[in-house]
C-alpha cells in the first residue's frame, strides 16, 4: 500500500513538474523579455534570475508537497550584508533546486553536465551560471569577481560531485581563492535530509523533510590571513559539524 | 647529498608549513588529493614550496602529473636530486 502511495505521489510530482515547466518557463521568459524592452541589461538580468528563483520555489516547495517538505533557516548575524559566496554540501540531485530557498539574486557554479540538460541548461547559461571546468581559473575568477561586484551572490558545491551516503567530501579550493580576492563574505549552507530525495542513480523521491541551514557568514576580515587550503577546510569543518548536529536532530 | 630521511623530513615540513596538515597524517601511502585534501591549485602552491625548500626546478617536469601519494613525492624529489648531482 505504501509503495503504491509512493508511486502515485511521484507520478503526480513528475507530471506536474513537466506541465509546470512547459507552461511556466515560456511564460516567465516572455515576461522577462517584455520587461527587457523597458529596462537596462543589469535590471533585466536581476528579473531573469528572480524568475528562475520563482520557478525553483514552485518545483521544490509546491509540487512535491506533501511527499517532501522543505524547512529553510537563516542563522545570519544581524549586521551581515551580501552578496555572498555560498558554500554548500552536495548530497543529491535536488541540491541545485533547493538553492531557490536563498532569497538573493544568485548564480550557481556548475560542473559540465548541468549545461547539457535540455531547456534548463540553456536558461542556466543565459542567467550567467558558470561552468567551472570549462574555463581556465583566471577567467572563472574574473567573472566571479565581476558578478559579486554587481551584487550577485555565487552558489558553489566545492565537493564537485554528490556525496550521497558517504561523509562530506574534500573541497576544491578555486572559489575560496576567488573569495579572498573579492573580499566578500562566505556563507556556509548545510543541506540535510535529501540523501534519498532522490537517491543516487534513481528518480524516485522518498518521503521526508529537507532542511537547509544558512549559517553565519565568515567575513573577509575574519579569514583574510588564511591560506586558501586552510580556509576551505575551515568552511568544510563548519558544514560537517552542522551536518552532524542536523543528523542527530532529524 | 640529501638522504632519503632528510627528503621525507623536509617534504613533511612543507605540508605542515604550507597546508597546516598534522604530522600524524603525513604517511607515505596517503593520497595527496583524497586523504590530504589538496586540489589542482594547491598542487601549484606545493610545487612552489618544494622548489623553494629543495632548490630544485619542478614546475615544468611532466612527472608531477603522475604524483598521487606522499611517497610518490619523496621518490620524485630523490630522483631529481640524483639527476641534478649527476
Distance from CA of B68 to the nearest CA of A (A): 15
In angstroms, the Cα distances linking A38 to A41, A47, A105, A120 are 10, 12, 20, 26
Distance from CA of B1 to the nearest CA of A (A): 32
CATH code (residue B77):
1.10.1200.10
Distance (Å, whole) CA A176 – CA A183: 10
Mean pLDDT of the B6-18 span: 93
Distance from CA of B82 to the nearest CA of A (A): 31
How many domains are contained in chain B? 1
Q: Could you give the 3-state DSSP secondary structure of residue A161?
A: coil
Q: What is the pLDDT of residue A209?
A: 95
Closest CA to A185 of A75, A104, A79, A83: A83
Q: Which domain holds residue B43?
A: 4-85
Give the ipTM of the model, two decimals please.
Answer: 0.73
Nearest to A173 among B18, B34, B42 (CB): B42
B86 — pLDDT class (breaks 50, 70, 90)? low
Q: What is the pLDDT of residue A162?
A: 83
Residues of A with CB under 8 A from a CB of B: 137, 170-174, 177, 227-230, 232-233
Q: What is the pLDDT of residue B2?
A: 64
Distance (Å, whole) CA A134 – CA A234: 27
Distance (Å, whole) CA B30 – CA B21: 12
Yes or no, beta carbons of A227 and B19 under 8 Å apart: yes
Distance (Å, whole) CA A126 – CA A148: 17
Size of interface A-B (CB pairs under 8 A): 33
Nearest to B41 among A170, A173, A233 (CB): A173
In angstroms, the Cα distances linking A54 to A43, A82, A166, B35 are 17, 20, 31, 40
A16 with A205: CB under 8 angstroms? no
For residue B50, is pLDDT > 80?
A: yes
Nearest to A230 among B20, B33, B38 (CB): B20
| pTM for this model (two decimals) | 0.87
Q: What is the pLDDT of residue A17?
A: 94
Q: Alpha-carbon torsion A160, A163, A168, A170, what sign?
A: negative
One pLDDT digit (tens) per residue for chain A, 250 residues: 788 999 999 999 999 999 999 999 999 889 889 988 999 999 999 999 999 999 999 999 999 998 999 999 999 877 778 899 999 999 998 999 999 999 999 999 998 888 888 889 999 999 999 998 889 999 999 999 999 999 999 999 999 888 877 889 999 999 999 999 999 999 999 999 998 898 888 889 999 999 999 999 999 999 999 999 999 999 999 999 999 999 988 7
pLDDT tens per residue, range A131-181? 988 899 999 999 999 999 999 999 999 998 888 778 899 999 999 999 999
Q: Which three cell numbers stand for residue A168?
A: 562530506
Mean pLDDT of the B27-50 span: 92
For residue B1, is pLDDT > 60?
A: no
Yes or no, beta carbons of A230 and B37 under 8 Å apart: no
B3 — pLDDT class (breaks 50, 70, 90)? confident
Q: What is the pLDDT of residue B83?
A: 78
Q: What is the pLDDT of residue B27?
A: 94
Q: What is the pLDDT of residue B57?
A: 82
Amino acid at each position: 500500500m505504501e509503495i503504491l502511495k509512493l508511486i502515485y505521489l511521484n507520478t503526480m510530482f513528475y507530471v506536474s513538474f513537466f506541465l509546470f515547466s512547459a507552461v511556466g518557463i515560456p511564460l516567465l521568459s516572455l515576461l522577462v523579455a517584455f520587461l527587457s524592452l523597458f529596462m537596462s541589461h543589469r535590471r533585466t538580468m536581476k528579473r531573469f534570475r528572480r524568475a528562475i528563483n520563482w520557478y525553483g520555489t514552485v518545483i521544490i516547495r509546491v509540487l512535491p508537497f506533501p511527499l517532501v517538505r522543505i524547512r529553510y533557516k537563516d542563522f545570519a548575524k544581524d549586521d551581515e550584508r551580501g552578496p555572498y559566496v555560498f558554500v554548500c554540501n552536495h548530497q543529491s540531485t535536488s541540491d541545485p533546486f533547493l538553492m531557490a530557498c536563498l532569497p538573493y539574486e544568485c548564480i550557481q557554479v556548475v560542473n559540465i553536465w548541468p549545461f547539457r540538460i535540455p531547456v534548463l541548461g540553456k536558461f542556466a547559461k543565459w542567467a550567467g551560471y558558470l561552468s567551472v571546468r570549462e574555463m581556465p581559473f583566471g577567467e572563472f575568477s574574473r567573472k566571479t569577481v565581476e558578478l559579486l561586484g554587481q551584487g550577485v551572490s555565487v552558489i558553489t558545491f566545492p565537493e564537485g560531485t554528490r556525496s550521497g551516503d558517504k561523509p562530506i567530501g574534500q573541497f576544491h579550493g578555486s572559489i575560496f581563492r576567488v573569495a579572498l580576492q573579492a573580499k566578500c563574505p562566505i556563507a556556509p549552507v548545510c543541506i540535510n535530509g535529501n540523501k534519498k530525495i532522490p537517491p543516487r542513480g534513481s528518480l524516485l523521491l522518498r518521503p521526508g523533510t529537507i532542511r537547509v541551514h544558512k549559517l553565519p557568514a565568515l567575513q573577509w576580515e575574519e579569514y583574510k590571513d588564511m591560506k586558501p587550503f586552510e580556509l576551505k577546510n575551515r568552511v568544510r569543518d563548519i558544514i560537517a559539524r552542522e551536518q552532524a548536529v542536523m543528523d542527530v536532530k532529524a | 647529498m640529501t638522504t632519503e630521511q632528510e627528503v621525507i623530513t623536509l617534504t613533511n615540513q612543507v605540508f605542515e608549513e604550507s597546508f597546516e596538515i598534522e604530522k600524524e597524517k603525513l604517511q607515505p601511502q596517503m593520497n595527496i588529493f583524497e586523504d590530504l585534501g589538496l586540489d589542482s591549485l594547491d598542487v601549484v602552491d606545493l610545487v612552489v614550496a618544494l622548489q623553494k625548500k629543495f632548490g630544485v626546478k619542478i614546475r615544468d617536469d611532466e612527472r608531477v602529473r603522475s604524483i598521487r601519494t606522499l611517497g610518490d613525492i619523496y621518490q620524485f624529489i630523490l630522483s631529481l636530486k640524483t639527476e641534478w648531482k649527476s
